[in-house]
């Protein structure tokens, strides 16, 4: 198989927001660096958010990748402050469609294909009109994609709210989704964003294929369902291309030397890293329980602590000051002193990828964003899954029940405070028990399969080649050069 595609030009369409732009850029770099493809990333921008590329920290493959920011769209007259995120994104992209069309039409060299991100599904029509191949990129799992696609059927067949269903939601050939695990736009069917989400899923089948940031070994069954399950294929018949795991590069950060120094002094795989992501805030009561749980477990830890959410505090142990630059003063009294030989606190933010890849880290208590999940797997670290937001629940369930590299609390942490005894037990199970060691072994295998997959000749690499070959053949046919 030819693996260099020097003659191809691909346009990647990114919806607004760093969370969408970064996966698009990572994909662009991969196409350029591994396959010599020319890539133009078209970025939808809005009047309210500043031009995103100014904020970029991702070094681009300068010879082959360029980023074009579309003029900002103004959606202020189309949304109200309570319009939810998914609905807003859909409206932004819809408003930007004429801009996308004219930007592509004006290019000196017409792209051979567009790769649209999951909120840009309405661009399928533009691609068709301009004679380009069209693919969709979902920087997430096959399972999440199956749910998105199948939601149109659930919408027809299920009465009432999904979250009130007595039984898990069945998706042909895939693991069923527990009602409590449904993604954000499925939480309330009366919301506009539910309908937008259903329509996004319907439009997936307008594309020539879907690229997924997953890999064959991680999700073999679900990928197989897309390929072979007749019921699922009656809804969506296009090929899926598992091309992952693509992850953002580890940024070299000036890690405070006391953190690295401290980690260097700990035994291998003996420290649990506790962090709930950039948006992750716990209640004051939950922070107390977590602190006690960590202390009782007697395990070593590095904890990225953030002040509690406001409003739920009437506890003398706490002080709600959000400005601290020393010792957080909302932890149980004496906690820091008692754990000083065992634990390290980092206020607000830590260089996660670097910490996770340190040999002293043996476990990760995480909110299970897909970034964090991939970073954990590719650093050989099993997880205590602590989902905070709807879209993370599916990840948590997936990791615990499908892949077997995570433990989770009995009840969703968003529903009930997880008590210290349970936290203690989860941490001990992960760090001390055979169960945790088995997960560590499994995660190591996963990492190896992930790395092998990305190498030249590996399954994810081949999957990308297969996709690019199709684009190349199509281009050849269009030029009458049938190859």
Shorter beta-carbon distance to ligand NAG: residue 140 or 460 = 140
Give min distance, CB of 92 to ligand NAG, in A.
17
Give min distance, CB of 143 to ligand NAG, in A.
5
Sheet containing strand 38-43, strands side by side: 65-69, 38-43, 9-14, 113-117, 133-138, 209-212, 240-242
**Residue 478 — left, alpha, or beta (φ > 0 → left; ψ -120 to 50 → alpha)?**
alpha
Shorter beta-carbon distance to ligand NAG: residue 312 or 359 = 359
Shorter beta-carbon distance to ligand NAG: residue 174 or 468 = 174
Residue-wise over 436-446: b if at least 16 C-beta within 10 A, else e?
beebbeebeeb
Shorter beta-carbon distance to ligand NAG: residue 155 or 422 = 155
Give min distance, CB of 59 to ligand NAG, in A.
13
Give min distance, CB of 390 to ligand NAG, in A.
9
Q: Which long-range contacts link 327-334 to residues 24+ away (Cβ below 8 Å)?
A: 330/284, 330/287, 331/287, 331/288, 331/291, 331/305, 332/288, 332/291, 332/292
What 3-state class would DSSP assign to 273? strand
The DSSP letter of residue 363 is: E
Shorter beta-carbon distance to ligand NAG: residue 113 or 394 = 394
The token pair that represents 195 in the structure block: 């309908």
How many CA atoms lie less than 13 Å away from 15 in the CB half-sphere? Answer: 25
CA 123 to chain CA mean position, Å: 22
From the candidates 117, 181, 208, 380, give the one annotated as an active-site residue: 117
∠ CA 424-277-192, nearest 5°, is 115
Q: Where are the beta strands (DSSP E) in 253-355?
A: 271-275, 300-305, 343-347
Asked about 358 being catalytic, the answer comes back as no
Give min distance, CB of 103 to ligand NAG, in A.
24
Give min distance, CB of 170 to ligand NAG, in A.
6
How far is the C-alpha of 94 from the C-alpha of 79, rounded, in Å?
Answer: 13
Shorter beta-carbon distance to ligand NAG: residue 18 or 107 = 18
Q: Does residue 290 contact residue 330 with C-beta atoms inside 8 Å?
A: no
How many CA atoms lie less than 13 Å away from 371 in the CB half-sphere? Answer: 15
From the candidates 9, 20, 194, 367, give the one annotated as an active-site residue: 20
Give min distance, CB of 287 to ligand NAG, in A.
21
Beta bridge partners of 177: 169
Shorter beta-carbon distance to ligand NAG: residue 127 or 405 = 405
Cα end-to-end distance, the chain, whole Å: 13
Asked about 258 being catalytic, the answer comes back as no
Q: Does residue 409 contact residue 293 with C-beta atoms inside 8 Å?
A: no
Give min distance, CB of 395 to ligand NAG, in A.
4
Residue 257 sits at φ, ψ, to 5 deg, of: -65, -25
How many CA atoms lie less than 13 Å away from 124 in the CB half-sphere? Answer: 18
Shorter beta-carbon distance to ligand NAG: residue 273 or 398 = 398
How far is the C-alpha of 52 from the C-alpha of 90, rounded, in Å?
Answer: 18
Q: Would you tell me which residues interact with ligand NAG (CB under 6 A)?
A: 18-19, 22, 140-141, 143-144, 172-173, 228-231, 248, 268, 277, 359, 369-371, 391-392, 394-395, 398
Report the catalytic residues: 20, 117
């Amino acid at each position: 198989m030819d693996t260099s595609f020097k003659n191809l030009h691909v346009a990647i369409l990114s919806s607004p927001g760093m969370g969408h732009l970064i996966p698009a850029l990572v994909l662009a770099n991969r196409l350029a660096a591994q396959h010599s493809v020319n890539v133009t990333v078209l970025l939808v921008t809005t009047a309210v958010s500043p031009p995103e590329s100014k904020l970029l920290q991702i070094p681009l493959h300068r010879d082959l990748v360029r980023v074009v920011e579309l003029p900002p769209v103004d959606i202020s007259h189309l949304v109200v402050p309570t319009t939810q995120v998914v609905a807003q994104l859909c409206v932004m992209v819809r408003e930007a469609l004429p801009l996308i069309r004219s930007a592509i039409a004006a290019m000196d060299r017409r792209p051979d294909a567009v790769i649209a991100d999951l909120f840009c599904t309405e661009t399928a029509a533009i691609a068709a009109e301009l004679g380009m191949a069209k693919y969709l990129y979902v920087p997430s799992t096959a399972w999440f994609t199956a749910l998105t696609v199948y939601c149109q059927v659930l919408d027809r067949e299920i009465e009432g709210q999904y979250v009130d269903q007595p039984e898990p939601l069945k998706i042909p050939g895939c693991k069923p989704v527990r009602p409590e695990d449904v993604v954000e736009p499925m939480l309330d069917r009366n919301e506009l964003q539910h309908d937008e989400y259903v329509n996004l899923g319907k439009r997936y089948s307008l594309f020539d294929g879907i690229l997924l940031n997953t890999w064959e070994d991680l999700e073999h069954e679900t990928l197989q369902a897309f390929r072979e399950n007749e019921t699922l294929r009656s809804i969506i018949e296009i090929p899926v291309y598992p091309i992952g795991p693509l992850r953002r590069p580890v940024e070299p950060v000036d890690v405070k030397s006391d953190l690295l120094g401290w980690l260097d002094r700990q035994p291998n795989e003996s420290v649990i890293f506790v962090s709930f992501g950039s948006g992750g805030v716990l209640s004051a009561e939950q922070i107390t329980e977590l602190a006690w749980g960590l202390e009782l477990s007697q395990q070593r830890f590095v904890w990225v602590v953030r002040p509690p959410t406001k409003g739920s505090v009437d506890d003398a142990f706490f002080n709600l000051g959000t400005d601290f630059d020393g010792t957080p003063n909302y932890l149980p009294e004496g906690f820091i002193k008692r754990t000083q030989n065992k634990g390290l606190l980092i206020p607000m933010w830590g260089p996660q990828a670097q910490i996770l890849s340190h040999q002293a880290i043996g476990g990760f208590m995480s909110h299970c964003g897909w970034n964090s999940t991939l970073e954990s797997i590719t650093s050989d670290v099993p997880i205590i899954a602590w989902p905070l937001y709807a879209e993370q629940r599916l990840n948590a369930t997936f990791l615990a029940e499908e892949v077997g590299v995570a433990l989770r609390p009995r009840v969703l942490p968003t529903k009930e405070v997880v008590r210290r005894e349970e936290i203690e037990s989860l941490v001990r199970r992960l760090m001390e028990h055979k169960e945790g060691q088995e997960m560590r072994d499994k995660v190591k295998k996963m990492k190896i399969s992930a790395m092998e997959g990305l190498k030249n000749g590996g399954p994810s690499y081949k999957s990308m080649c297969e996709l690019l070959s199709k684009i190349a053949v199509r281009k050849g046919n269009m030029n009458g050069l049938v190859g």
